[in-house]
Structure 1
Amino acid sequence: MTASELAETTLFVCVTCRAQVTEGVSPDQPRAGARLLAAIETMPAEHRAGIAVVGVECLSNCNRACTVAVTAPGKWTYVLGALDPDLHVQDVLAFAQLHQRHDAGLPAWRERPEYIRKNTVARVPALSMPR
């Protein structure tokens, strides 16, 4: 793995998440998590610079779906939930950019988008990097 790959932030998006409110959602529509992933992938490249966006199966946060996780080697990991694919794409990407720019992956609370501050599910310490 190259140094640039090690420095890259990864945004995992749960593609199996269902919408919190299922009223009016037709069964043939893509799940909310898949819609969130598609919306993130269609954002301009500068909003995703240095962020690898990866769709994953189930992040086990079904009670607060849609869910994403933001991580990078040697940095804290954040799990964010209760996201709406129609409303929170820019908040998610803004937070991922903040995470990327902070050495330890701990952006200042006040700098985070307000919705992200209120819907952080977990913060997990970084694993020690092998020497």
Structure 2
Amino acid sequence: MVEEVSARPVDVGLPAVIVCTTCRSEQGERGAVLAESLQREIARQCLGESVRVVAVDCLNACGEPVSLALTGEGQASYVFNHLEPTNDVADVVSTVKAWLDADRGFIEDASACGRLRFCLTARIPFV
């Protein structure tokens, strides 16, 4: 189940894949499609004990939909834009795996991230 968050703060616990659900891709797909697809794929790959999918109303990147963030305590955070909810699921999951495996979440070799390498908007270092 995708965790839904609106105005309340995201609980610090498992690292999170945060997806803007109101964004629409150029093809008209909402970010909610991406959140649901990611949840299914993360469960299918048995990653649910390592990361959770959190749906939020807005990531304030409306001009560059669909947006997604990776964040976790003690890890670098990432923000990605221009995602395609149907086509980018595999690349998002590959990026999540690389992020979880990386020292403090700092992905040094992004080759496994596929198209997401070109969708990165920000990397926020762990402090």
TM exceeding 0.5: yes
Unaligned runs of 5+ in 1: 23-30
Decide whether the 8 Å contact of 2:41 with 2:93 is kept in 1.
Answer: no
After superposition, give the CA deviation of every residue in 1:37-91 in whole Å (9 maximum; x if it has no partner): 1111222525361111110111011121111100111111000111111100111
Decide whether the 8 Å contact of 1:8 with 1:100 is kept in 2.
Answer: no
1:9 paired residue number: 15
2:59 paired residue number: 59
2:118 paired residue number: 118
The CA distance in 2 between the partners of 1:51 and 1:110, in whole Å, is 19
Q: 1:20 aligns with which of 7, 20, 26?
A: 26
Decide whether the 8 Å contact of 1:69 with 1:79 is kept in 2.
Answer: yes
Decide whether the 8 Å contact of 2:22 with 2:31 is kept in 1.
Answer: yes
Which aligned runs of 4 or more in structure 1 are off by greater than 4 angstroms?
none
CA displacement at 1:16 relative to structure 2: 1.0
1:70 paired residue number: 70
Decide whether the 8 Å contact of 1:9 with 1:96 is kept in 2.
Answer: no
The CA distance in 2 between the partners of 1:63 and 1:20, in whole Å, is 11
Q: TM-score, normalised by structure 1?
A: 0.77
Aligned length: 115
Q: TM-score, normalised by structure 2?
A: 0.79
The CA distance in 1 between the partners of 2:83 and 2:91, in whole Å, is 9
The CA distance in 1 between the partners of 2:14 and 2:62, in whole Å, is 27
* Matching residue's letter, 1:82: H
Cα RMSD of the aligned pairs, angstroms, is 2.1
* Matching residue's letter, 1:62: C
After superposition, give the CA deviation of every residue in 1:1-20 in whole Å (9 maximum; x if it has no partner): xxxx9773210011111123
The CA distance in 2 between the partners of 1:53 and 1:44, in whole Å, is 9
1:41 paired residue number: 39
Decide whether the 8 Å contact of 1:47 with 1:93 is kept in 2.
Answer: no
Decide whether the 8 Å contact of 2:111 with 2:117 is kept in 1.
Answer: no
CA gap 1:51/1:126 in 2 versus in 1, 3 angstroms: same
